[in-house]
Amino acid sequence: MKTVYCRPKCMKEAHFHYCPGCGHGVITRLIAEVVDEMELRDKTICVAPAGCGMLLYNYFDIDTIESAHGRGAAVATGIKRVRPENLVFSYQGDGDLAAIGTAEGFHAANRGELISVIFVNNGVYGMTGGQMAPTTMLEQVTTTSPAGRDSVLQGHPVKICEVYATLDGTSYLERVAVNKPAAIIKTKKAIAKAFRHQQQKTGFSLVEILSPCPTNWKMSPLDSCRWVDDVMTKVFPLGLIKETKKC
Amino acid sequence: MKGFIRIDPERCKGCSLCMEYCPGHAISLTNRLNLKGYFVADFEDKKECTGCAVCAVMCPEVAIEVYQIEKTDER
């Protein structure tokens, strides 16, 4: 008998607190798999966000530090500058990186800090009950945009990857999704690539992951996976946005 | 049967993504509840499983372990 798939070694036995069908669970697992495969369990430091991913330290059996809301990139900068031999990544949602932490993320990218950011984009503030986020799409209904997001009143969705691509400090930016098996495999490769960019000191790397949020989108898990393909990828096109050097 | 899976019933939240993406439709939702109160998915022994691990790739709860039966095991 051959084991084809089992739990990654750098995950603890704790059960996830995420809602059924949430993309966070897949992303957490993929990071653990990449860390296992790169054999960096002892050298990796994770910076956990405020938001749905805040309990990451319960799931990862790697060193994890909790940052203040939105300050993940700033905390990761500090750790990386003090301990350049470690692999440092921050895990941030759209409320964390694109709203309250805009300055920290943007300027860490502009300085070309040698950190990786895993940016989970689900278009809403998940943990607080599905309010409108900067990444909410036009006409998307949330609890604070019940008639749908209106560009006149509430502005346009923020495309973090495209904004960061204009900065000289960034070396690797890719947008991926976790809504179907092929996309999940691509996401894992993108995370591994971001970590390799960090190891080779090419600059700031960020992977934006479109992740389903069935509870706050008020859909079934399967419908939310389809909605990522049908609606979200039209606004946030998948693919490699920027890579300065092949890694 | 070339492969089989084990689903941890206490981790499963019944999101049904594994069922939808399984190429052999070998997983189904049961009427059993776990401690959290979710109806859990379970593997149907009689259906064909190749051990492709698509279910484990999709599972957001890391609840699925996949095994393949090698020829030496069948003897």
Per-residue confidence band for B1, with pLDDT thresholds at 50, 70 and 90:
low
Q: Which residues of A touch B51 (CB under 8 A)?
A: 2, 4
Q: Over 60: is that where the pLDDT of A90 sits?
A: yes
Nearest residue, CB atoms, A5 vs list B11, B16, B53 = B53
Domains, chain A: 23-243 (3.40.50.970)
Q: Rounded CA gap, A21 and A212, in Å?
A: 7
Contact state of B57 with A184 under an 8 Å Cβ cutoff: yes
pLDDT digits (tens, 9 = 90+) for A1-48: 899 999 999 999 999 999 999 999 999 999 999 999 999 999 999 999
Region A63-74: mean pLDDT is 96
- The residue behind tokens 């940052």 is A67
Nearest residue, CB atoms, B67 vs list A1, A214, A221 = A1
Q: Rounded CA gap, A77 and A79, in Å?
A: 6
pLDDT, residue B39, reads 96
Q: Rounded CA gap, B71 and B63, in Å?
A: 26
Q: Are B4 and B53 a contacting pair, CB within 8 Å?
A: no
Q: How high does pLDDT run on average in chain A? A: 95
Contact state of B17 with A221 under an 8 Å Cβ cutoff: yes
Looking at the complex, report in whole angstroms how far the Cα of residue A168 sits from the nearest Cα belonging to chain B. Answer: 35
Domain range B3-69, CATH class: alpha beta
Contact state of B60 with A3 under an 8 Å Cβ cutoff: no
Instruction: Write out the H or E segment, with its range, that includes residue B6.
Output: strand B3-7
pLDDT, residue A204, reads 97
Bridge partners (DSSP) of residue A119 are: A92, A208
pLDDT digits (tens, 9 = 90+) for A146-195: 999 999 999 999 999 999 999 999 999 999 999 999 999 999 999 999 99
Q: Over 90: is that where the pLDDT of A78 sits?
A: yes
Looking at the complex, report in whole angstroms how far the Cα of residue A4 sits from the nearest Cα belonging to chain B. Answer: 5
Q: Are A173 and A159 a contacting pair, CB within 8 Å?
A: no
User: Which of 149-188 (A) contact B at CB < 8 A?
Assistant: 180-181, 184-185
**Among the listed residues A31, A14, A13, the one whose alpha carbon sits nearest the alpha carbon of residue A23:** A31
Residue of A197 and B46 predicted with greater confidence = A197
**Among the listed residues B50, B54, B46, B56, the one whose alpha carbon sits nearest the alpha carbon of residue B6:** B56
Per-residue confidence band for A119, with pLDDT thresholds at 50, 70 and 90:
very high
Nearest residue, CB atoms, A181 vs list B57, B62, B64 = B57
Q: Are A16 and A29 a contacting pair, CB within 8 Å?
A: no
Q: Are A115 and A106 a contacting pair, CB within 8 Å?
A: no
Q: At what angle do helices A181-199 and A23-37 cross, to 10 degrees?
A: 50
Q: Are A117 and A208 a contacting pair, CB within 8 Å?
A: no
pLDDT, residue B47, reads 82
**What Rg, from alpha-carbon coordinates, does chain A have?**
17
Which residue type occupies A38?
M
Question: What is the token pair recorded at A168?
Answer: 């000289």
pLDDT, residue A247, reads 80
CA angle A70, A76, A79 (to 5 degrees): 145
Region B29-56: mean pLDDT is 93
Q: At what angle do helices A102-111 and A72-82 cross, to 10 degrees?
A: 40
Work out the percent of chain A whose per-residue pLDDT is above 70. Answer: 100
Interface residue B35 vs chain A (CB under 8 A): no
Q: Which value does ipTM take for this structure?
A: 0.93
Per-residue confidence band for B2, with pLDDT thresholds at 50, 70 and 90:
confident
Q: Over 60: is that where the pLDDT of A139 sits?
A: yes
